[in-house]
Amino acid sequence: MSERFDAILIGAGHNGLVCAGLLAKAGKRVLVLEANDQVGGAAVTRPFADGYSVSSCAHLLYQLQPAVSKDLGLKLDYAAKKMETIALAESGNHIRYSGSEVDGVSDEDKKSYKAFHKRMSGFADLLQKYFNKTPPRLGTKDKKDLFTLAQLGFDVRRMGKTEMRELLRLIGINIFDETEERFSNPALKGAVSLDAVLGTHLGPRSPNTIMTYIYRLCAGHGAVSLPSGGMGSVTQAIAQAARDNGAVIRTGVRVKRVVVDNGRVAGVETEGGETLESWIVVSNAGPKTTVMDLVQTRHFETGFIRRVNNIRAKGNAAKLHLALDGLPSFKGLEKKDYGQRLLIAGDSDYVERAFNPAKYGRCSTEPVMEITFPSVHDKSLAPPGKHVMSAIVQYVPYGLHDGWDESAKEAFKQTAINTLAKYAPDIADKITAAELLTPLDLENEFNLPGGHWHHGELTLDQFLFVRPVGGAAQYAMPLDGLYLCGAGAHPGGGVMGAAGRNAAREILSREK
C-alpha cells in the first residue's frame, strides 16, 4: 500500500515551494519531491571551492512578489538592498544608476532616463497586476475569463490615451531603437540594453526586448537586492514556511514518471521505484519536460503536443564563479562600489555584437556580464579577507555548434576572464579557483530545460495567454489532475514566486 497525498509536487524550486506552501496552508496533504539534495532549484547557495560559496544560478533578487511574501509570511534578511548598478567603462569613467536616477551622463540624459524609467515602471505595474492572476483564456464564454480580459482592457485604457498608445507601440519592438531615440550616452544605452536581454536568446535589436525590459521592473521597479546567505536563503525560508504549513519535502528523490490511469493523473513513480498516489500532480519542471518526458505524449492530444514540442527554451546565460584572494582592482571603483551590481555592457552595439555569434551556436568573443561580489556584504560566503565573484556571462549558447566539452568550457572561461581583465587588470592574479556553468551545466544541475532560467523564452508568442502554450495557460494541463507551477507557466521565472502562487490558487479553486 503506497502513501496517498492530496497533491504531489515535482521539484522544490522556489515556485514549487511557494505552491506547496499555499496548498498546505489551505489544508491539503502535500508532498514535495526534489531530485537534488537541497531544495531551491535555481535559487540555491552552494560551495564551489574550498571555503567559498555562491548563489550558483540566480544571484540577485529583483522580483519576489510582495503577495507571495505576504501569503507565506516570509521575513527575509537582506545583505544589501537597492543596490546601485555601475556600467563599467574601460577608461574608468563609469556611469551609475539606481531607481530613476542616473549619474555620469549629461543632464539631458538624466532627464530622459527619469522619464523613461517612470513610463516603463508604469507599464510594469500594470503587468505585475496580471502576473499575480491566472491569465484569461481567449475565445471562451467563461465569465471569469471574460471579466479578467475586460479588466485588462480597462486597465490599459485607464493609463490614459498617451500611455496606452505608448504601451501598444513599445510592447513588441526592440530596446535598441528606444535607447537610440532617448539617450545619447553610449554606456547608458548599453546598460539598458543589457538589462533588457539578460537571460534571453535576444539581442538589443531583437523585437520583444522592451517587453523583457518591462518584465524586469515588475515588483520594485528594478530595485536589486542581495539576500543574506545568498539566494539559497530565500528558498530555504520558503521551504520552511511550507513545512510550517504541514508540507512534506523529500530531497534526493527524482520522479521518473507521472502515473496516468484511465486518462487522469494518479500519482508518481520515483527513480527508486516507489509509487506515490495522488489525484493531483503539480510539476515545477519545465512544461516540455513535464509533458513529453514525465507524462509522455500519448496521454495528450496531438495539437497540444505539437505546441509544447515547439516551445523555445535555449539558454545563453552562463555563470562564472571566482574564488579570489582579495578584491581585484577595477579602474575607477572605490571600495564601496564592489558591493554594487556591475555591468560590462559597452554600448548597445557591443551587446548586439556579443549576441551575433550565439545565433550561429558560438560563444561571444567579447561577452556581456552582470557581476557581483556578494562576499562584500556577506562574510559567510568566503574565508576572512577573501572574496567571491559571481557573474552572469552572455552569450554562451546551450547548443554550442561543436558541442560542449572541457576544452570548450576552458576556452570560454579564459575569454570571460580576459574580458574582466580589461576593467580589472590584476584579476587573473587574484583567482584561486574558478567555475564556469554553461547553460548545459545549468540544465544538468538545476533541471532547467535548455539551461533557460525561464523554462521557455519570454517572448510575446510564449507570454500571458499563451504561456506555456495556447489553450493551456491556466496552470491546468489538458490531463485531469496535472498542473504546472514553474517558470514555464505564466508569468515566468525570475524568483518571483508568482507562478507558484497562481497555480496554488487555481488548483484550490478547481479541485474542491
Judged by the rule CB under 8 A, the positions of this chain that interact with other proteins are 260, 262-264, 292, 296-306, 309, 471, 478
Residue 84 C-beta: closest distance to other proteins, Å:
48
Closest approach of other proteins to the CB of residue 265, in Å: 12
Question: Which CB sits closer to other proteins, 212 or 474?
Answer: 474
248 backbone φψ class: left, alpha, beta (φ>0; ψ -120 to 50): beta
- Residue closer to other proteins by CB (options 193, 283) is 283
198 in Cβ contact with 392 (< 8 Å)? yes
Taking the complex as a whole, how short is the minimal distance between the CB of residue 456 and other proteins, in angstroms? 17
What does the alpha-carbon distance between residue 460 and residue 207 come to, in Å, rounded to a whole number? 10
Give whichever of 165 and 306 is closer to other proteins, judged by the CB atom: 306
Q: Given the complex with other proteins, which of 2 and 296 has the nearer CB atom? A: 296
Q: How far is the CB of 304 from other proteins (least distance, A)?
A: 6
**Minimal distance, residue 479 CB to other proteins, in Å:** 8
Cβ proximity to other proteins: between 202 and 259 the closer is: 259
Which of 87, 311 has the CB closer to other proteins?
Answer: 311
State the nearest-atom distance from the C-beta of 217 to other proteins, in Å.
Answer: 36
Q: Closest distance between other proteins and the C-beta of residue 481, in Å?
A: 13
Q: DSSP alpha helices (H): ranges in 171-322?
A: 175-182, 186-197, 209-216, 232-244, 287-288, 302-309
In the Cβ-directed half-sphere of 135, how many Cα atoms lie within 13 Å?
A: 27
Q: Which residue bears the cell 557581483?
A: 372
Shortest approach of other proteins to residue 473 CB, angstroms?
Answer: 15
- Complex with other proteins: residue 228 or 297, whichever CB lies closer: 297
Nearest to 221 by CA among 307, 301, 117: 117
- The 10 Å CB-count burial string (b at 16+, else e) for 477-488 is bebebbbbbbbb
**Euclidean distance between CA atoms 223 and 228, whole angstroms:** 16
Helix axes 107-131, 209-216, angle to 10 degrees: 80
What one-character-per-residue DSSP string does 416-469 give?
Answer: HHHHHHTT-TTHHHHEEEEEEE-HHHHHHHH--GGG-TTSS--SGGGSGGGSSS
Query: Order of strands, edge to edge, in the sheet holding 281-283?
Result: 248-251, 30-34, 7-10, 281-283, 482-484
Q: How many CB atoms lie within 10 A of CB 288?
A: 21
Residue placing its CB nearer to other proteins in the complex, 361 or 471: 471
